[in-house]
């Protein structure tokens, strides 16, 4: 139902008689005094448009009758229904409806007219009125696009290559005009996003490319992303425009919602696009780049299998973890790769190996003889597995839960990159890791040989040493050989030294092979130190030929330092551990201190001090404080050479010609087995060094 009205209808019996749900459109002339009545009618859901200076009799029109009426000042209505046959003719009614629709299209919505009257600002219906149209007439489409181009000061466009071809076919003259306007400073330029796949499309672009255009490439511009906009209008089509054919339908709108939405889409696409000159170079050099991100694990695995099946030469895989190898075995991926290898495709797999799973992994590997496997001696800190296919494609899987056996519980996302340069870089990384695993195998072999040699040599030395020591002791007691006592003592002293070295070699071998067993008992650490000091005072003259080294022990109590003595009143420090091994640690540190002092210049102080103190540390992972016993051996010797600091506690590290350099390595391993830590530093006064270790109380 429609109304032609000379002025706005007030509340009346006619308005009250309108049935709920009726589609009512009213065209009228709205003045300032009509605003309250207009707003009431709008609130009832009526559609009202404004046409200036609309005069004449009021009419109601539908598809069955024409009714005219007069509204009196008292809101009473005189209604006249025409009974003339010509007036009721359907053709006449249709003509009236066409006239109404024409007026409706050219009129202003009531809400904008009310805005004009209240704000006293002129409303421009041509520019400000939001309007969206779908145009299907080819002549009208061409005309609208021509107007769109001609009236623009700047254009942003995103189309397939068919859109470029359409410009050449239908709008080439207009395109040349925009270039002239650009040179004259009347046109700001065109930004165009498209997809360029081959040399033919490159030539198509070069024909249209000029200084007023900035073109960029993104992969896979589809028909759903064919759109353009200027400052005032948005145009779009879902047609493919194949071979530059004009679209069969065109959406055109000046609605700010469309403009702002597609402007933001275009800006994001522009940020991730490639300069067209760079794309031309990629096509010329046959470089193909694309990146895809898959979040669905099922789709990601299916996609990865297709990529593996497409391999022509090689597949290089770096697994994210040891558990990843179990997943690939369980889900038949290794079986598939093994079949690929049988066809002549080289397959190499690097597995980060946990020692605890060594046997299980090697059992899995043995099932796939055509795949080359290597093992990393460490696990990666990031759970990402990567495959390089033919040095042209890369698939990376990010793992969210490495404990899961199924892909779907383990995989978070899949990244696919098709880029020759990127794949070559990853391939180089893979080769470096592959070589590293080979070096690791060689080092393992060398270490096994070294351990075997040490083990055999130390055991072979032990038997003759026992004989030498036994016979030297017999000779030493023989009074008839008293004149040779000094020589016999030298034999015995050196035999003891060889025995100690032999024992140390055996102990280190046991440590490396995890065969060294520690005993656990609770004992007084003060008493242990006194025993070690007594034994050291007895041995140092024989071993270092220097009675002048002063060995002392002090301990902290009540914030004061006290000398450790044999007094029965001293409070014991109880500790739990292997008494003999900790005694060896102290002996090693004191021996090193004596050795450092013996190498010092004459006249330098010759003192070794053992310091003992209890400390409390608050661990970062708990609120419960932890109590430690810290033991430090301080000497006044030559100090630690800077070159030795990084490897001080490694095997065979020494700064003298005496000894094998195993003492600190042995001490570190024993302290670590007790849950402690060992460290060393040069003294601040520049004289000597301090080696400290701590044990839990």
Domain 2-127 matches domain 130-284 at the CATH topology level: yes
**Predicted local confidence at residue 89, as pLDDT:** 65
Is there a contact between 46 and 96 (Cβ–Cβ < 8 Å)? Answer: no
Q: Judge whether residue 633 has pLDDT over 90.
A: yes
Pairing of strands 550-557, 560-563: antiparallel
Q: Is pLDDT above 70 for 86?
A: no
Q: Where are the alpha helices (DSSP H) in 189-275?
A: 199-208, 256-271
pLDDT tens column, 174-198: 999 999 999 999 999 999 999 998 8
Class (C level, CATH) for 2-127: alpha beta
**pLDDT value of residue 457:** 60
DSSP string, 596-626: HHHTSPTTS--EEEEEEEEEEEE-TT-SSEE
For residue 604, the model assigns a pLDDT of 64
* Burial grade of 245 (CB within 10 A; 0-12, 13-18, 19 or more): middle
Of 125, 159, 328, 168, the C-alpha closest to 236 is 159
Contact yes or no for 205/276 (Cβ under 8 A):
yes
Spatial distance between the Cα atoms of 218 and 275, rounded to a whole number of angstroms: 9
For the beta carbon of residue 589, count every other beta carbon within 10 angstroms: 26
Token pair for 238: 């879902």
Query: Is 80 exceeded by the pLDDT of residue 625?
Result: no
Where are the strands (E) in 2-76, listed by range?
2-4, 25-28, 47-50, 58-61, 66-71
pLDDT-wise least confident of 350-354, 379-383, 391-395, 534-538: 379-383
Least confident window among 69-83, 341-355, 493-507, 660-674: 69-83
Q: What is the pLDDT of residues 113-135, one digit of tens each?
A: 887 888 776 655 544 567 888 99
Cα-Cα end-to-end distance for the chain = 96
Residues 18-50 pLDDT 10s = 554 556 778 888 888 888 888 888 887 778 888
Query: 3-state class of 58 per DSSP?
Result: strand
Strand duo 234-236 + 314-318: pairing = unpaired
Cβ atoms of 551 and 545 closer than 8 Å: no
User: Which of 72-81, 216-225, 303-312, 467-476 bottoms out in mean pLDDT, i.e. has the lowest?
Assistant: 72-81
Mean pLDDT (the chain) is: 80
User: 579 is written with which tokens?
Assistant: 């008494």
Reported CATH class of domain 290-418: alpha beta
Is residue 3 predicted with pLDDT exceeding 80? no
Number of other CB atoms surrounding residue 133 within 10 Å:
11
Domain ranges of the chain: 2-127, 130-284, 290-418, 432-515, 521-696
Q: What's the rounded Cα separation, in Å, for the pair 636 and 642?
A: 17
| Domain 432-515 coded CATH 1.10.287 | yes
- What is the architecture of the domain spanning 521-696? 2-Layer Sandwich (3.30)
Question: Band of the pLDDT at 156, cuts 50, 70, 90?
Answer: very high
* Pair 549, 594: CB distance under 8 Å: yes
Residue 83 has pLDDT above 50, yes or no: no
What is d(CA 195, CA 158) in angstroms, rounded to the nearest whole number? Answer: 9
Residue 76 pLDDT greater than 70, yes or no: no
Distance of CA 661 to the CA centre of its chain: 44
The CATH homologous superfamily to which domain 130-284 belongs is Endonuclease Chain A (3.30.870.10)
- Tens digits of residue pLDDT in 335-371: 999 888 888 889 999 988 887 788 888 888 888 989 9
């Amino acid at each position: 139902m429609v109304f032609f009205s000379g002025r706005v209808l007030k509340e009346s019996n006619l308005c009250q008689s309108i049935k709920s749900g009726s589609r009512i459109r009213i065209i009228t002339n709205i003045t300032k005094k009509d605003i309250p009545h207009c707003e009431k009618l709008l609130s009832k859901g009526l559609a009202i448009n404004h046409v200036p200076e609309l005069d004449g009799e009021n009419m109601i029109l539908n598809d069955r009758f024409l009714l005219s009426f007069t509204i009196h000042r008292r809101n009473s209505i005189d209604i006249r229904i025409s009974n003339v046959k010509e007036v009721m003719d359907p053709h006449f009614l249709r003509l009236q409806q066409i006239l109404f629709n024409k007026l409706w299209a050219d009129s202003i919505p009531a809400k904008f007219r009310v805005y004009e009257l209240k704000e006293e600002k002129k409303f421009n219906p041509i520019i400000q009125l939001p309007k969206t149209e779908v145009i299907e007439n080819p002549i009208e489409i061409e005309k609208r696009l021509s107007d769109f181009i001609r009236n623009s000061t700047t254009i942003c466009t995103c189309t397939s290559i068919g859109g470029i071809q359409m410009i050449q076919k239908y709008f080439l003259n207009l395109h040349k005009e925009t270039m002239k306007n650009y040179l004259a400073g009347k046109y700001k330029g065109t930004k165009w996003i498209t997809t360029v796949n081959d040399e033919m499309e490159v030539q198509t672009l070069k024909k249209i490319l000029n200084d007023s255009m900035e073109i960029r490439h993104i992969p896979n511009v589809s028909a759903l992303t064919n759109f353009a906009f200027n400052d005032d209008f948005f145009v779009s089509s879902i047609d493919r425009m194949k071979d530059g054919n004009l679209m069969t339908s065109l959406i055109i709108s000046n609605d700010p919602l469309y403009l702002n939405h597609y402007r933001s889409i275009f800006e994001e696409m522009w940020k991730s696009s490639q300069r067209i000159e760079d794309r031309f170079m990629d096509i010329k050099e046959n470089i193909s780049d694309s990146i895809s991100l898959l979040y669905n694990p099922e789709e990601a695995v299916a996609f990865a299998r297709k990529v593996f099946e497409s391999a022509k030469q090689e597949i290089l895989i770096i697994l994210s973890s040891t558990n990843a190898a179990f997943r690939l075995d369980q889900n038949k991926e290794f079986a598939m790769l093994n079949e690929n290898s049988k066809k002549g495709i080289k397959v190499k797999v690097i597995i980060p190996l946990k020692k605890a799973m060594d046997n299980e992994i090697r059992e899995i590997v043995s099932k796939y003889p055509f795949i080359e496997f290597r093992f990393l001696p460490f696990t990666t800190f990031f759970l990402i597995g990567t495959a390089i296919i033919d040095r042209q494609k890369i698939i990376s899987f990010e793992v969210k839960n490495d404990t899961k056996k199924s892909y779907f519980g383990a995989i978070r996302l899949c990244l696919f990159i098709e880029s020759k340069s990127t794949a070559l870089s990853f391939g180089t990384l893979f080769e470096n890791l592959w070589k590293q695993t080979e070096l690791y195998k060689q080092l393992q072999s060398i270490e096994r040989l070294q351990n075997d040699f040490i083990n055999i040599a130390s055991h072979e030395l032990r038997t003759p040493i026992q004989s030498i020591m036994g016979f030297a002791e017999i000779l030493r007691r023989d009074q008839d050989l008293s004149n040779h006592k000094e020589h016999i003592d030298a034999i015995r002293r050196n035999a003891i030294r060889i025995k100690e070295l032999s024992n140390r070699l055996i102990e280190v071998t046991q440590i490396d092979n995890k065969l060294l067993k520690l005993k656990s008992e609770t004992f007084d650490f003060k008493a242990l130190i006194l025993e070690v000091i007594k034994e050291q005072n007895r041995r140092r003259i024989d071993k270092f030929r220097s009675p002048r080294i002063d060995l002392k022990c002090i301990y902290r109590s009540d914030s004061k330092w006290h000398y450790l003595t044999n007094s029965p009143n001293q409070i014991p420090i109880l500790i739990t551990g292997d008494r003999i091994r900790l005694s060896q640690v102290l002996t090693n540190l004191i021996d090193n201190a004596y050795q450092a002092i013996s190498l010092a210049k004459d006249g330098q102080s010759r003192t070794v001090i053992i310091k003992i103190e209890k400390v409390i540390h608050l661990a970062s992972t708990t609120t419960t404080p932890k109590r430690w016993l810290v033991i430090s051996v301080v000497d006044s010797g030559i100090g630690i050479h800077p070159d030795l600091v990084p490897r001080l506690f490694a095997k065979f590290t020494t700064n003298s010609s005496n000894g094998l350099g195993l003492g600190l390595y042995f001490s570190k391993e024993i302290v670590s087995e007790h849950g402690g830590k060992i460290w060393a530093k040069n003294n601040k006064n520049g004289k000597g060094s301090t080696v400290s270790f701590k044990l839990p109380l």
